[in-house]
Amino acid sequence: MKTLTFKGGIHPGDHKSATSQKKIETLKAPERLIIPLQQHIGAPCEPLVSVGDEVKMGQKIAESKAFVSAPVHASVSGKVIGIEPMLHPNGSKVLSVIIENDGKDTLHESVVPKGDLEKLTPKEIIDIIREAGIVGMGGAGFPTHVKLSPPSDKKIEYVIINGAECEPYLTSDHRVMLETPEDVIYGLKAIMKIFGLNKGYIGIEDNKPDAIEVLRKYASQEKGIEIVALKTKYPQGAEKQLIQAITGREVPSGGLPADVGVVVNNIDTCTAIARAIKTGMPLIRRIVTVSGSAVKDPKNYSVRIGTPFHVLFEQSGGFTEEPAKIIMGGPMMGIAQFSVDVPVVKGTSALLAFTKQEAKLWEEKPCIRCGKCVQVCPLHLLPLYMSAYARKDDLEKAEKYHVLDCCECGSCSFICPSKRHLVQSIRLAKQAIIAHRQKN
């Protein structure tokens, strides 16, 4: 198979076989759900409901007037029993609506099909996406309608759907591609329609030949949709590396994909768009891979937003041993969790539980200048120098070595034989520099 890729990157063990052949199971909604009012990048939402209100499934329960924001919907029907700050997977406390599930899944009146894709205008499609609360499902959670509304001077030439799924353990996108390929294609067509394009791309790593085959079969019935096989390498699914592999273009430093005429969206984002148009259902569920060495029965689940983490682990048969680390997302860029009582949010692609052995913290040794971090950096930076200056608090020098260009993929820390906290220190320097700029 001819594959495309970028320069640099690493090959961590992929651990995907634990769940890649397991069909998505629909997880029963729990009795109590916690729905944070900020699950996206941008302005937090204001609640539209009060404690004691009855809500229906798909009902909008919070929104913001700001453009860069995404509304939040009730993922079950039931009663609002609390609106208070609750622990969020990002580690902070976020105002959340707590719903007691009545178990009836009564649909809200607003959940009706939005009409034929052929007849919808670009503006109507963007409005449907916004109203459905759709955000990037890869993890960062950037509101999709904002991404699909670039400044008018940016001409979009490429629509790319990111099916790389390069993080180890993750198989949620893989399963979605296999089980609902028609929705993936439908979502892509909706985005192509927004930009008036007749060409669209879906990039998939070649470790998922079955997904490539299935989507190629579906794409052959459509005009202008190309399935691109990508080399299996981390971070192949990072936006900039994906764009480089497929278009050969580089996003300018500090710029956005739209600056080179590209828009990238996630696989599950496409299916969310398809559902929002076809059935009117807003984003109230997502696919989550539950895996890791401490999980008894790793699986892929379709989960209501707001379901506490422990429910998913219990459904997977609990743990083989007391887990030492819980991660939301992949092991390369995911967020370690304090608690399993926090809820699944729109960006929760996976929940991983690691045994003590797998969560092992290595002892940091001095840098031996082996240069491996330089070889693997997908942005061609010099992580060893960026980190050295960051750790000396020499932010000026760190910036000279382009810390702000770092995408925090973690390849440098992964490969480092001295087990140095490279990306970790770079991340701190980035935050310090940005905070300093905002102050002045």
Partner 1 sequence: MNNSRFIVSSSPHIRSEETVSSIMIDVVVALCPALIAAAYFFGFRAFLITAVSVISCVAAEYIWQKACHKPVTINDWSAVVTGVLLAYNMPVTVPLWMPVIGGFFAIIIVKQLFGGLGHNFMNPALAARAFLLASWPTAMTKWIEPFQKIPVLGDVDVVSSATPLAILKGTEAVGQAMPEYWQLFVGQIGGCIGETSVIALLLGAIYLLVRKVINWRIPVTFIATVAIFTFVFGQDGSFAGNALYHVLSGGLILGAFYMATDYVSSPVTPKGQIIMGIGCGIITSVIRLYGGYPEGVSYSILIMNVVTPLIDRYTTPVKYGEVKARA
Residues 52-111 that bind partner 1 (CB under 8 A): 91
Site for partner 1 in 147-166 (CB under 8 A): 153, 155
* 374 touches partner 1 (CB under 8 A): yes
Nearer to partner 1, 287 or 326 (CB): 326
* 371 touches partner 1 (CB under 8 A): yes
* DSSP for residue 364: P
User: Which distant-in-sequence residues (6+ apart) come within 8 Å of 198 by Cβ?
Assistant: 192, 223, 224
Q: To which H or E segment does residue 438 belong?
A: helix 422-439
Encoded tokens for 313: 């682990």
Nearer to partner 1, 136 or 378 (CB): 378
Nearer to partner 1, 51 or 368 (CB): 368
Nearer to partner 1, 79 or 402 (CB): 402
* 17 touches partner 1 (CB under 8 A): no
User: What is the Cα 104 distance to its own chain's centre?
Assistant: 30
* 418 touches partner 1 (CB under 8 A): yes
Nearer to partner 1, 118 or 153 (CB): 153
* 12 touches partner 1 (CB under 8 A): yes
* 340 touches partner 1 (CB under 8 A): yes
Looking at 335-388, which runs of residues are DSSP E strands?
335-336, 350-354
Beta bridge partners of 97: 35, 83
- Minimum distance of partner 1 from residue 398's CB (angstroms): 14
Binding partner 1 (rule: CB under 8 A), the pick from 46, 84, 222, 341 is: 341
Nearer to partner 1, 95 or 256 (CB): 256
DSSP output for 75-143: SS-EEEEEEEEEE-TTSSEEEEEEEEE-SS-PBPTT------TTT--HHHHHHHHHHTT-B-TTTT--B
- Minimum distance of partner 1 from residue 427's CB (angstroms): 7
Encoded tokens for 213: 């085959």
- Minimum distance of partner 1 from residue 200's CB (angstroms): 19
Encoded tokens for 280: 């009117």
- Minimum distance of partner 1 from residue 358's CB (angstroms): 8
* 336 touches partner 1 (CB under 8 A): yes
* 178 touches partner 1 (CB under 8 A): no
Strands 78-87 and 54-55: antiparallel
Coil, strand or helix at 205: strand
Map residues 377-396 to x or -, x wherever contact with partner 1 holds by CB under 8 A.
-xxxxx-xx-----------
* 331 touches partner 1 (CB under 8 A): yes
Nearer to partner 1, 5 or 180 (CB): 5
* 296 touches partner 1 (CB under 8 A): no
* 357 touches partner 1 (CB under 8 A): no
Q: How far is CA 220 from CA 176, 194, 200, 224, 295, in A?
A: 19, 21, 13, 9, 39
Map residues 235-274 to x or -, x wherever contact with partner 1 holds by CB under 8 A.
-----x---x----xxxxxxx---xxx-------------
Choose the stretch contacting partner 1; rule: CB under 8 A; options: 35-43, 172-180, 206-214, 405-413: 405-413
Q: Report the candidate in 271, 251, 233 with the shortest Cα–Cα distance to residue 409.
A: 233
Site for partner 1 in 182-221 (CB under 8 A): none
Q: Please state, in angstroms and rounded to a whole number, the distance separating the CA atoms of residues 181 and 177.
A: 5
* 333 touches partner 1 (CB under 8 A): yes
* 404 touches partner 1 (CB under 8 A): no
* 27 touches partner 1 (CB under 8 A): no
Q: How far is CA 55 from CA 6, 22, 93, 147, 396, in A?
A: 48, 33, 23, 30, 52
Choose the stretch contacting partner 1; rule: CB under 8 A; options: 53-61, 93-101, 129-137, 418-426: 418-426
Choose the stretch contacting partner 1; rule: CB under 8 A; options: 51-59, 71-79, 282-290, 409-417: 409-417
Question: Apex CA 338: angle with CA 337 and CA 343, to 5°?
Answer: 65
Q: Please state, in angstroms and rounded to a whole number, the distance separating the CA atoms of residues 43 and 163.
A: 28
- Minimum distance of partner 1 from residue 256's CB (angstroms): 9
Q: Please state, in angstroms and rounded to a whole number, the distance separating the CA atoms of residues 381 and 396.
A: 16
* DSSP for residue 7: S
